Amino acid sequence: MSLHHSNVDKPVDPIKPDSLPEASHEDVAKGLAAIVDHSAQEPNIVSHIHAPLHSLAQAHWIHKFIPGIQKLAVEYHCGNYVVVRGSSEPFFETMPLYARLGMHLLFYGKEQVRILGNKRVDELLREQSIKQGKIFDDPKSVQSIPSFIETYSIQTEELLEPDISKYRNFNEFFYRQATISSKQNEDDKNVVISAADCRLTVYASVDLAKAIWVKGQNFNIPNLLNRPADSPVVASFQNASLAIFRLAPADYHRFHSPIDCEVGDFEYVGGQYYTVNPQAVNETGFDVFTANTRSILYLKHIPTGKLVAYVAIGALLVGSIVWTGGKQKGTVLKRGDELGYFAYGGSTIVVIFPKEVIEFDKDLVSNSERPIETLVKVGYSIGKVRTEVVE
């Protein structure tokens, strides 16, 4: 859902890229390349990349690349509603500039030209994502850390290393380590915890997820796991349940095991670098999760002995997906143990549970059916293993 600037209390239809009728694909491509190139030179570029669209009315350097963006910035707020867990009042999360440009490249003129799958666009998004990762690995990128902290009001006292001068580049700060709160669930071994600081949606079945949230025409378990439909692994996830953890750029970008488990097989699947913004995920016929680059780790759930699939999905301007705790097959992990991290950019994790293994918490189910994402912290409960499965 998106919000119109002149009516901040009422959601309206998503603001489509044809809201920029003056800008061509070439203009937007140059604009995306420009903000990536500027990030190597300007210490405040992180603020520009992630700025609410309306604040860009003052950013004159971007106007020359994208005709009409100033008008759009003045008239609209572009983004999504999210609800903080425990609250019934949604807040509005603005769409970062780079995600807006990625959306425009993918969807503009879709009725006239079949742009989805266009190799030139796909190559551009991949090229800029790889370039951004290299820029933020450069030691000079530490200049961007203060503006990033200010843009997102990041509480550095929650970090394991609160001294920002200790980080050698921006990416090191981006995948910073922080304290997590999994101890609250230690006494109840049936609790399944959040894998990340995230915006969360949960669905009891893939069909329900497709009906409400994920509109990709190729979204199914075989495609998500890159396995044949008749494979034993796919068969074990028939009528599976899904938890979708979307990490926004401001979030702590390390991810953790939601269950007590034993590490199993791993698979890397190359793919695209589309934005994982909900407006893309909710777009009918557009495949994000099954088209994007992803890493899949299989976890044996110790209480039930069943296989759980943990799918880490890259996105626009994500430098890489790095596994830390999930490297060695046979490693035993507890809930909350670190599995890995994403380098720069917003990202998503989809955890697939076998049928009727998990009963998601009622508040998360209710919000997901509205549908709206719930802001959840890593380590907090998202559901419980059904007792009849454990017994």
Residue 50, φ and ψ in degrees, nearest 5 = -105, 5
Residue 383 · residue 198 · CB < 8 Å: no
Out of 129, 257, 320, 347, pick the active-site residue.
347
pLDDT of residue 43: 62
Residue 28, SS3? helix
Closest by Cα among 259, 256, 247, 151 to 197? 247
Residue 341 · residue 325 · CB < 8 Å: no
Give the pLDDT confidence of 110-130 residue by residue, as tens digits: 543 444 456 778 888 889 888
Which residues touch 353 (CB under 8 Å, ≥6 apart)?
Answer: 240, 241, 242, 243, 308
Q: Decide if 182 is catalytic.
A: no
CA distance 351 to 259: 11
Out of 27, 122, 197, 251, pick the active-site residue.
197
Closest by Cα among 170, 165, 187 to 249? 170
Q: Decide if 256 is catalytic.
A: yes
Top mean-pLDDT range of 242-246, 272-276, 285-289 = 242-246
User: Would you list the domain boundaries of the chain?
Assistant: 188-380
pLDDT of residue 4: 31
pLDDT of residue 8: 36
User: DSSP assignment, residue 238?
Assistant: T
**Which neighbouring-strand residues pair with 373?**
82
pLDDT of residue 355: 92
Alpha carbon distances (Å) from 288 to 148, 249, 260, 314: 27, 18, 29, 10
Options 1.10.10, 2.60.34, 1.10.3210, 2.70.70; CATH for 188-380 is 2.70.70
CB atoms within 10 A of CB 173: 24
pLDDT of 292 higher than 60: yes
Out of 47, 256, 287, 337, pick the active-site residue.
256
CA distance 372 to 189: 28
pLDDT of 14 higher than 60: no
Q: Decide if 147 is catalytic.
A: no
Top mean-pLDDT range of 14-18, 105-109, 384-388 = 384-388
CA distance 167 to 19: 40
